[in-house]
Amino acid sequence: MAPDSEFANASFGKPDFDVVVVGSGFAGLYLLHKLRELGFSAKALEAAGDVGGTWYWNRYPGARCDIMSIDYSYSFDPDLETEWQWSEKYATQPEILRYLQHVAAKHDLRRDIAFETRVESATWDKDSSRWLIRTNRGAEITCRYYVMAAGCLSKPKEPEIEGCDCFRGEVYYTSRWPHRGVDFTAKRVAVIGTGSSGIQSIPLIAAQAKQLTVFQRTPNFSIPAHNGPIPTHRLADYERDRASYRERGRWSRFGVPVELSQIGAMQVSEDERRARYEAVWEAGELVGIGLAFNDIILNPKSNETLCEFIRGKIRTIVTNPETAEALCPTDHYVATKRACLDTNYYETYNLGHVRLVDLRKTPLARITETGIDTTIETFEFDAIVYATGFDAMTGPIVAVNITGRNGVTLRDRWAAGPLTYLGLMTTGFPNFFAVTGPGSPSVLSNMTVSIEQHVDWICNCLKDLRDENLEVIEPTATAEAGWVQHVNDCANITLFPTANSWYMGANVPGKPRVFLPYIGGTDAYRTACNEVVARGYLGFVRSGSGQRRVNDGVIRRLQPDVQMLLEAMSALNLPPLEEMSPEAARAFSSELSAVRPPGPEVGEIVDGVLPGAGGDLDYRLYRPATAGPHRVVVYFHGGGWVLGSHDSDDPFCRDLCVRSNAVFVSVNYRHAPEHCFPAAADDAFAAVRWIGDHLETLGGVPGPLVVCGWSAGGNLAAVVCQMARAAGGPNICGQVLVAPVTDCDFSRPSYTENGVDYVLTKPLMNWFWDHYADPANRTDPKASPLRANDLSGLPRALVVTAEFDPLRDEGAAYAEAMASAGVEVKHLPCRGQIHTSLTAVDMILSGAGARAEISAAIRQFFHQVEDLVMRDN
């Protein structure tokens, strides 16, 4: 964070402009308009000869938007919506460019734009709190605020192909297409690259050229755009009430007002799945993928069904089987590289003069004076078209030499990947904003919606600064680190990081492999941005006129799927369990259990009965599908000694059984208040003893056991280990305590911090304890194992705690106390998780890492035993 003195001494002289904007595409134009409206002086600097941004440069044949034109347009000026009629579902580049020119003219924006002016450097001057901007025209401009609105895909990637400069024929880049147009009639043409630009241009180039050869390194998934008139149902929806249509778009997942599916692909029959995919194919809309199922970018199995559907279509359309196979993507999941919309793309390969060269089989060797050499063939061409993509998102920003505080350049600060707060600002670069920067939804959303949201946020922020007599704003290091973590958390529960995509920076040699945009959704993102403001610009330092306001903090600390679950539960307005009778609470919990995902398949499930301390107890045994016999884990379910059963924790047991390759025996025990303390503990110990004596009958390996439990079950697992130590058996080689109850004391900070909002509440814990144990009994180590006088000699332990759990601190305290007593303990604190999320298999994907670690610990406990046996032999 900035030292106080810098802000205290800053002199706030008048710069040339309040704001300098780089770019005059969708973002730059709206910025100019909005800033003017708010009374700020602003200048836009634009390298091109006119407005348009992306749509000025990318004039290649077939260039169109692939978000429907009514959605891919401004919403800030309602008159525009009536005076401009889009001619097609997906507007062409010339039509979009005309639209932007119309907007510029209508709002008289060109008078504040310097064209053919490229920004070369921007330097923060801390003494005057201004940015000094230098351009290719030699001008030096000063401004208070510097905004990069240069687009996410505006810096073409250098084609890293040997011999690029030696070709003597015509050379074109889709990203810098000549304004005069190009006539390929009677020419032999090569296209390198099969991303969106290649896929859009190839059919039109083929229509002209005498011969077209496409050099493909990676095939892409594409679905037909079915371009034509705007679909009537969508147009009717839009025209019925434009304002509400736009508002729905703003609060949607991708910036397009469509209802996404609530069902996963594996939850329906194969016929229904196919029917839904046919509908996606027919709709010709990229967001249609989200309309089909809700887990396409989350679940590899679900995604693979769509991959195979599209491959099937390719094989049907393309008549040459070898070409069809080469066009079928097999190295990435659908949508993890930007999916494409096309018009006759696959059909083009059925034309006699079009050939596909699969660079995976015969790599491109070099460009020659007359054409292209692959490793096995020489080609001659009249023209080569590079459709090789962009240095996306960070490329256009760091292309300008931006120097922030203490002489640090942005290029250096982002050397290992971009660091931003909300994708809007970066620490050490005061008053510098990026529109749709890395860490914001940008390219994973309808850009126009995201641009308007960013411009509104930035302009309102500048207005708030002015209203509060402040002039400088910068994110704190904590806020920025928190946001970067959140962006990664969101990406890590999806399949996106598995692909070598430009989203990951993987297309540019040497670029750090970091997921660049924010996949949490435009709705969730908008909520976070609004919340930052509502909480007094949380995560920012704002200063000026001798004031300095620091509001440090992190806006999103929960794992994204945990946050979504909590929001969904809050919307359901569920009754508090602690206000119910135990019977009603049990019935209610069972209802909830019945609707969650089932967990993975295991080899075998056997229900049985074993003798407890006060009568028979039901158990359920999970056997892995691998060849046995297996080591055995005894498991105790959660539910505060009052609720739950082997049904309630069934998915968790299945998951751990599969991951740890061990038999799990999940034992029901007597519940309070019918059977109070110490009935549950005595049952748990009796069960472990009986299982220890019957390992071979159960199909297990004779020898030691592991005990495991969650919540109250974690309490029982810990208590059983103490009881077994006292009794001299059974032999337990490891204990896994997941968010365990270890003490009856509610005074630890985690009860204060997390006692209300995270499912397991302080009142609910009170209710559990009140049913389970009289106050006099609660301090007994059989109820509060942390209270034991001596914790030495207990089995090795893994203690898992969740950050937003009232029980977090008592779990950590038990781990610490065992370690102090010489027990080998690993404590696994789970960031962003709540008490109930670690066991929510297939619902909380971010909990999968913890479950993998639990299973690794179980395997390790058993390996240590096997190592000892081998050593003894």
CB-side neighbour CA atoms (13 Å) of 814: 36
Q: Least distance in Å: CB of 362 to ligand N01?
A: 12
The span from the CA of 731 to the CA of 692, in Å, is: 8
Question: How far from each other are the two terminal CA atoms of the chain, in whole angstroms?
Answer: 60
Q: Least distance in Å: CB of 288 to ligand N01?
A: 15
- Which of the residues 55 through 74 are near ligand N01 (CB under 6 A)? 64-66
- Among 24, 135, 154, 200, indicate the residue that binds ligand N01 (CB under 6 A): 200
Q: Least distance in Å: CB of 90 to ligand N01?
A: 8
Question: Would you count residue 161 as binding ligand N01 (CB under 6 A)?
Answer: yes
Beta-bridge mates of residue 604:
623
Residue with token string 């800053």: 10
**CB of 633 closer than 8 Å to CB of 656:** yes
- Which of the residues 804 through 863 are near ligand N01 (CB under 6 A)? none
The span from the CA of 601 to the CA of 5, in Å, is: 62
Report H helices in 133-269. 196-208, 232-240, 242-250
Closer CB to ligand N01, 172 or 390, in the complex: 390
Question: Would you count residue 158 as binding ligand N01 (CB under 6 A)?
Answer: no
Give the pairing of strands 371-374 and 547-551: unpaired
Question: Would you count residue 389 as binding ligand N01 (CB under 6 A)?
Answer: yes
51: left (phi over 0), alpha (psi -120 to 50) or beta: beta
Q: Least distance in Å: CB of 27 to ligand N01?
A: 15
The span from the CA of 592 to the CA of 660, in Å, is: 27
- Among 42, 192, 686, 705, indicate the residue that binds ligand N01 (CB under 6 A): 192
Question: Would you count residue 782 as binding ligand N01 (CB under 6 A)?
Answer: no
Residue 406 in tokens: 């203490």
Q: Which residues are CB-contacts of 253 (< 8 A; sequence separation ≥ 6)?
A: 260, 290, 521, 522, 523
Closer CB to ligand N01, 375 or 766, in the complex: 375
Q: Least distance in Å: CB of 455 to ligand N01?
A: 20
- Among 160, 272, 369, 757, indicate the residue that binds ligand N01 (CB under 6 A): 160
- Among 223, 387, 602, 691, indicate the residue that binds ligand N01 (CB under 6 A): 387
Question: Would you count residue 427 as binding ligand N01 (CB under 6 A)?
Answer: no
Q: What does the per-residue mask of binding to ligand N01 show for 288-327, with x meaning CB under 6 A?
A: ----------------------------------------
- Which of the residues 544 through 573 are near ligand N01 (CB under 6 A)? none
* Residue whose C-beta lies closest to ligand N01: 195
191, amino acid identity: V
Give the pairing of strands 378-380 and 371-374: antiparallel
3-class state of residue 149 by DSSP: coil
Question: Would you count residue 394 as binding ligand N01 (CB under 6 A)?
Answer: no
Only one of the segments 311-319, 385-393, 491-499, 807-815 lies at the binding site for ligand N01 (rule: CB under 6 A); that segment is 385-393
Only one of the segments 101-109, 192-200, 429-437, 702-710 lies at the binding site for ligand N01 (rule: CB under 6 A); that segment is 192-200
Q: Which residues are CB-contacts of 300 (< 8 A; sequence separation ≥ 6)?
A: 333, 495
- Among 97, 364, 797, 799, indicate the residue that binds ligand N01 (CB under 6 A): 364
The span from the CA of 330 to the CA of 17, in Å, is: 52
Closer CB to ligand N01, 19 or 91, in the complex: 91
Spell out the long-range contacts of 357-366 with Cβ–Cβ below 8 A and sequence spacing 24 or more: 357/213, 357/214, 357/215, 357/216, 358/216, 358/326, 359/215, 359/216, 359/217, 360/217, 360/218, 360/326, 361/326, 364/161, 364/192, 364/215, 364/217, 365/162, 366/161, 366/162, 366/163
- Which of the residues 90 through 119 are near ligand N01 (CB under 6 A)? none
Inter-helix orientation angle 447-467/522-534, to 10°: 0
Only one of the segments 158-166, 319-327, 481-489, 832-840 lies at the binding site for ligand N01 (rule: CB under 6 A); that segment is 158-166
Residues listed for the chain:
873
Question: Would you count residue 332 as binding ligand N01 (CB under 6 A)?
Answer: no
- Among 75, 135, 194, 648, indicate the residue that binds ligand N01 (CB under 6 A): 194
Closer CB to ligand N01, 292 or 339, in the complex: 339
Q: Rounded to whole angstroms, what are the CA distances from 763 to 588, 599, 639?
A: 18, 30, 14
Question: Would you count residue 198 as binding ligand N01 (CB under 6 A)?
Answer: yes
Closer CB to ligand N01, 159 or 699, in the complex: 159
Question: Would you count residue 390 as binding ligand N01 (CB under 6 A)?
Answer: yes
- Among 153, 410, 491, 602, indicate the residue that binds ligand N01 (CB under 6 A): 153
Closer CB to ligand N01, 381 or 652, in the complex: 381
629: preceding bond cis by omega (within 30 degrees)? yes
- Among 218, 450, 453, 715, indicate the residue that binds ligand N01 (CB under 6 A): 218
Q: Least distance in Å: CB of 21 to ligand N01?
A: 22
Residue with token string 């389970």: 772
Q: What does the per-residue mask of binding to ligand N01 show for 500-539, with x meaning CB under 6 A?
A: --x----x--------------------------------
Q: Least distance in Å: CB of 70 to ligand N01?
A: 15
Size of site (CB under 6 A) for ligand N01: 28
Residue 35 in tokens: 């800033």
Report H helices in 17-92. 26-37, 54-57, 78-83
Question: Would you count residue 196 as binding ligand N01 (CB under 6 A)?
Answer: yes
The span from the CA of 460 to the CA of 444, in Å, is: 24
Q: What does the per-residue mask of binding to ligand N01 show for 436-475, with x meaning CB under 6 A?
A: -------x--------------------------------
**Interacting residues with ligand N01 (CB under 6 A):** 64-66, 153, 159-161, 174, 192-198, 200, 217-218, 338, 359, 364, 387-390, 443, 502, 507
